[in-house]
Structure 1
Amino acid sequence: MNLKIESQIREYEVRLYAAMSASDVAELDRLIADDLLFVGPTGELATKAVDLDLHRTGGTQFHEFVPKELEIRVWSEDFALASAQIFLSGTYLGNAFAGDYRYIRVWRRDKSGLQIVGGSVSAIV
């Protein structure tokens, strides 16, 4: 059963990468839970509304998005942890960035399906 859940998380991560790269707000809305808590690269706490707004307004823009690795730990049928290393370049609130980043995401299954409920991103230095 864990392999099936891990496979689903991998598929959802691919959907998430495409949505983030394209700032596809409708797809991000489906993949992110309403009660999301996410810690950004400077330690700021973001909600789903903040994240969607940054993509909607161009506050977050990715020019390069290159996944390098993905590790998944299945905790139960309803929860899994994903750790992804991704090379990113783009702009965040008008400031350019480029480099390798580590994302941690908590995926939860509920009546809406699989969604991200928590996570963080940090620069790899």
Structure 2
Amino acid sequence: MENITIENLEEKLRQAMLSSDVAVLDELIADDLVWTMHTGKVVNKQFDLEMHSSGIFRFTSLDISDRQIHFYGDCVVVTLKMDAAGIYNGQAFSENFRFTRVWVQRQNRWQIVAGHVSQVIPL
């Protein structure tokens, strides 16, 4: 049952990222989020929501593969590969990334508390 819940939340997150649905992103992301970008910059929830709400950043496609879900009680670690395309500051991009997301269950709800994204560089 837990696996289905996290898979559903992951899909809800993917759809919210695609549509820049800030209300859903706000619900799924913990207020104390710590996120490390592919550039090494560490950002918070406010930064993430502002990128979507301002229109500076917009995904046009997010194709997920190689998702693995690891349970540790009230904590779940999700790793996946994502082929992403979109617009950043008016410039189109299409890149491959690896994500690690840490979901924690608090007060009967799951939220992302930490994560990291790395760009996949072809060898």
Superposed pair shares fold, TM > 0.5? yes
* RMSD (CA atoms): 1.2
Superposed counterparts of 1:64-103, under 5 Å: 64-76=61-73, 78-103=74-99
Note the residue ranges of structure 1 that are not aligned, 5 or more in a row. Answer: none
Superposed counterparts of 1:4-43, under 5 Å: 4-43=1-40
Counterpart Cα distance in 1 of 2:11 and 2:47: 22
Counterpart Cα distance in 2 of 1:93 and 1:72: 33
Counterpart Cα distance in 2 of 1:123 and 1:96: 16
Counterpart Cα distance in 2 of 1:45 and 1:95: 22
Match for 1:110: what amino acid?
R
**Quick one: structure 1 residues 74 and 13, their matched pair in 2 at CA, closer, same or farther if it must change by over 3 Å?**
same
Give me the TM-score of the superposition, normalised by structure 1: 0.91
Note the residue ranges of structure 2 that are not aligned, 5 or more in a row. Answer: none
Counterpart check, 1:57 vs 2:54: yes
Counterpart Cα distance in 2 of 1:15 and 1:113: 14
Aligned residues: 121
Percent of aligned positions with the same letter in both sequences? 35
Give me the TM-score of the superposition, normalised by structure 2: 0.92
